[in-house]
Amino acid sequence: MEEYFNVADIFGENVFNDTVMQERLPKKTYQKLKQTILAGEELDLETADVIAHEMKEWAIEKGATHYTHWFQPLTGITAEKHDSFISAPLPSGKVLMSFSGKELIKGEPDASSFPSGGLRATFEARGYTAWDPTSPAFVRQDAAGATLCIPTAFCSYTGEALDQKTPLLRSMEVLSEQAIRLLRLFGNTNSKRVIPSVGAEQEYFLIDREMYLARKDLMYTGRTLFGAMPPKGQEMDDHYFGSIPERIEAYMRDVNIELWKLGVSSKTQHNEVAPAQHELAPIYAQCNVAVDHNQIIMETLRKVANRHGLQCLLHEKPFAGVNGSGKHDNWSLVTDDGINLFEPGKSPHENIQFLLVLCLVLKAVDLHADLLRESASDVGNDHRLGGNEAPPVIISVYLGEQLEDVLRQLISTGTATKSKKGEKLATGVKTLPDFRKDATDRNRTSPFAFTGNKFEFRMVGSQDSVGEPNVVLNTIMAEALCEACDELEKAKDFDSAVHDMIKKLATEHQRIVFNGNGYGDEWIEEAKKRGLPSINSLVEAIPALTTDATVSMFEKFGVFSKVELESRAEIEYEQYIKSINIEAKTMIDMASKQIIPAVIGYATELGLSIGTIQDACPEADVSTQKELLIKVSNHLREAKEALVKLKETNNKAYTMKASSCEKANFYHDEVIKAMEELRAPVDALEMIVDKECWPMPSYGDMIFEV
């Protein structure tokens, strides 16, 4: 180890955080900014000028030469356009370093090269980025230099959101408003805001970079399109939480240092289920900051890997037959004075509020299960969800034995008088049991699980942004809270109105609660009986974005307009089409230029060796070689036929005159099928062809030799 350091010393050293602002900004400016952050007020230009100046001075001390508005367009990754701090040269020939409040607050990148799903046609091509002062600016240092990154939202010139952050900030606002309404009804007069807190656990694979570079499929698509299973997979369960190899440990150490400097509280790291799979979890943070931090985490994991001769794979399913990667989105609602609305209370009265909030979550998830499912869909996640290693494609909520029992009592008798586990029953305000944080076994098969004081949404894909899932969670919850408040504010007897409401909600939405095994086939049957949507793929999920229920909810709360939703649906279809087309073309390329020639070479050698042996010794039995040659030749023919078919199908898809929805469905139904038909004979060949002849590293090479 090169040097020892104290984590507390380096933590946040490259962040323009509260401490730095207090130190460097004039008191008045600091207070103005704080007010902006806390109350969501607008910043005046004069204040912004002062902040920009200090931010620039600070960044230059950290070596920054450029600044960038760092934003999250709908590509799933971040984008940036760098500008240097230099001003126009002075008459002396020198330059000054300058950065104005205007430049801090607003940027104008050309929006036309980012996905806009048709918004571009209707509106102007120009777009602008606007500073999100609630997510602190940071200086990113690497071999290429240092840059001041300013987290921003990205909108079209007429105000339509073109990114992940704009709707997220909108959804946080409306959620807070509605949650505060409820808290006031329960007598809370202190809390000013309710903030969704999010902790996103990130799974990823690490493989050797040389091997990565030898696989075109990984390079172009992020996943292997061919590959036979090695003799040993993950069946021994010896990787999960296993000891971390030194090379990986050195990598993780570097990742942590980078993240800590950027104020990302990287906390937990361990090996995951699959060989070569790992996980990193930060400590939870305010929703928009957590979404930004997750992007920083993904960038850092990738960047640092290259320095260690490794490649980080963030795809949901880099290797077929091996556990895929996801992102657990831990979500809770916490007030500015630290009250977690998902924390069971100490008194029965608090428990009533908790139970109501819980039932509102059930309502929200039940009514918008299709939308929540959509928010966790991306092209790669289609390979993972429902695969008996990740949550099923059906949304349900896991509550745990104790809570489910309380709900059952409420539904059947109107009151809950006992609490499982024999905890003390409280009397007084209504007859609800006094239960405490339920630390029972967690159901790992549930897509949406209550885990004590937060919900864990486990469907999100590993390379996807957690932006959209949180927009959906925040807004469906705002809607449920709003409808509850509308009713309760009118109630004459608040206590019994709440009580009746809990019972009604629990009864109406009990179908969404499922504590059993989500991997079992019985659940699919049972869910069908309950009328829960079972949405198998991204293309099936996209329509949820534009249903009446979705549009009216988002419009009511001003989170998305109908046009924005339609544009997002369009973008997702387009992304699907492009991704599958690239995958198909990559397969065609690999099969025609690498695999088939290699197999022909091997078959020829085999044929020659049979001839040689028979010449040398006519009595020798060459039936084994002949059998092998026949097998190889048969698979070769199958592969060749499947290749031709894939080319035709993909070409048909590509040149099809149809809507993006129809096209995407054709890719899903036909092109993917043709891809699978090509993969099968190739994988069979890989199992029998001499390893020396195979033109690329095998699964075994990649996942066991890191």
Applying CB under 6 A, the residues found at the interface with ligand ADP are 197-199, 201, 268, 281-284, 328, 330-332, 340, 453-454, 456
Q: Among residues 328 and 368, whose Cβ is nearest to Mg ion?
A: 328
Number of Cβ within a 10 Å radius of residue 596 = 18
* b/e burial code for range 78-96 (CB count within 10 A of at least 16 → b): bbbeeeebeeeeeeeeeee
Q: Concatenated DSSP letters for 150-186? A: EEEEEEETTS-B-BSHHHHHHHHHHHHHHHHHHHHHT
Residues near 396 by beta carbon (within 8 Å), at least 6 away in sequence: 446, 447, 448, 512, 513, 514, 518, 527, 532
**Distance of closest approach, residue 331 Cβ to Mg ion, in angstroms:** 12
Contacting residues toward Mg ion, per CB under 5 A: 328
**Distance of closest approach, residue 268 Cβ to ligand ADP, in angstroms:** 6
Task: Select from 241, 299, 305 the least CA-distant residue to 268.
Answer: 241
461 binds, among ligand ADP, Mg ion, none (CB under 5 to 8 A by kind): none
**Helix axes of 623-655 and 562-590: crossing angle, nearest 10 degrees:** 150
Task: Report yes or no: 459 and 373 within 8 Å, Cβ to Cβ.
Answer: yes
Point out the residue whose Cβ comes nearest to ligand ADP.
199
Task: Select from 269, 271, 268, 202 the least CA-distant residue to 240.
Answer: 271
**From the centroid of its chain, how far is CA 358?**
24
C-alpha angle with apex 469: 467 to 470, nearest 5 degrees? 65
Alpha-carbon distance 205 to 461, whole Å?
Answer: 13
Alpha-carbon distance 116 to 110, whole Å?
Answer: 12
49 binds, among Mg ion, ligand ADP, none (CB under 5 to 8 A by kind): none
128 binds, among Mg ion, ligand ADP, none (CB under 5 to 8 A by kind): none
Own/partner pairs for 646-653, CB < 8 Å, 24+ apart?
646/584, 646/587, 646/588, 646/671, 646/674, 646/675, 646/677, 646/678, 647/588, 649/584, 649/674, 650/581, 650/584, 650/585, 650/588, 650/674, 653/577, 653/581
**Distance of closest approach, residue 273 Cβ to ligand ADP, in angstroms:** 13
Judged by DSSP in three states, 407 sits in helix
**Distance of closest approach, residue 290 Cβ to ligand ADP, in angstroms:** 8
Q: Among residues 215 and 384, whose Cβ is nearest to ligand ADP?
A: 384
284 binds, among ligand ADP, Mg ion, none (CB under 5 to 8 A by kind): ligand ADP
Alpha-carbon distance 150 to 309, whole Å?
Answer: 30
518 binds, among Mg ion, ligand ADP, none (CB under 5 to 8 A by kind): none
Q: Among residues 83 and 336, whose Cβ is nearest to ligand ADP?
A: 336
Q: Among residues 200 and 360, whose Cβ is nearest to Mg ion?
A: 200
**Distance of closest approach, residue 198 Cβ to Mg ion, in angstroms:** 12
Point out the residue whose Cβ comes nearest to Mg ion.
328
Q: Among residues 363 and 454, whose Cβ is nearest to ligand ADP?
A: 454
Task: Select from 79, 84, 87 the least CA-distant residue to 66.
Answer: 84
332 binds, among Mg ion, ligand ADP, none (CB under 5 to 8 A by kind): ligand ADP
Q: Among residues 12 and 282, whose Cβ is nearest to ligand ADP?
A: 282
Q: Among residues 262 and 664, whose Cβ is nearest to ligand ADP?
A: 262
Judged by DSSP in three states, 195 sits in strand
**Helix axes of 287-307 and 467-488: crossing angle, nearest 10 degrees:** 170
Q: Among residues 30 and 342, whose Cβ is nearest to ligand ADP?
A: 342
Q: Among residues 268 and 609, whose Cβ is nearest to ligand ADP?
A: 268
Residues near 636 by beta carbon (within 8 Å), at least 6 away in sequence: 596, 599, 600, 603, 681, 685
Alpha-carbon distance 266 to 241, whole Å?
Answer: 17
**Distance of closest approach, residue 455 Cβ to Mg ion, in angstroms:** 11
Q: Among residues 328 and 663, whose Cβ is nearest to Mg ion?
A: 328
76 binds, among ligand ADP, Mg ion, none (CB under 5 to 8 A by kind): none
Q: Among residues 280 and 643, whose Cβ is nearest to ligand ADP?
A: 280
Q: Among residues 107 and 196, whose Cβ is nearest to ligand ADP?
A: 196
Q: Among residues 295 and 649, whose Cβ is nearest to ligand ADP?
A: 295
* b/e burial code for range 24-39 (CB count within 10 A of at least 16 → b): bbeeebbebbeebbee
**Distance of closest approach, residue 558 Cβ to ligand ADP, in angstroms:** 25
- Residue 517 structure tokens: 């095994």
**Distance of closest approach, residue 332 Cβ to ligand ADP, in angstroms:** 3
281 binds, among Mg ion, ligand ADP, none (CB under 5 to 8 A by kind): ligand ADP
For residue 671, the 8-state DSSP code is: I
199 binds, among Mg ion, ligand ADP, none (CB under 5 to 8 A by kind): ligand ADP
Phi, psi of 400, rounded to the nearest 5 degrees: 95, 160
**Distance of closest approach, residue 449 Cβ to Mg ion, in angstroms:** 9
Residue type, 116: S
H runs (alpha helix) in 325-379: 348-367, 369-375
**Distance of closest approach, residue 398 Cβ to ligand ADP, in angstroms:** 13
130 binds, among Mg ion, ligand ADP, none (CB under 5 to 8 A by kind): none
**Distance of closest approach, residue 453 Cβ to ligand ADP, in angstroms:** 5
Judged by DSSP in three states, 391 sits in coil
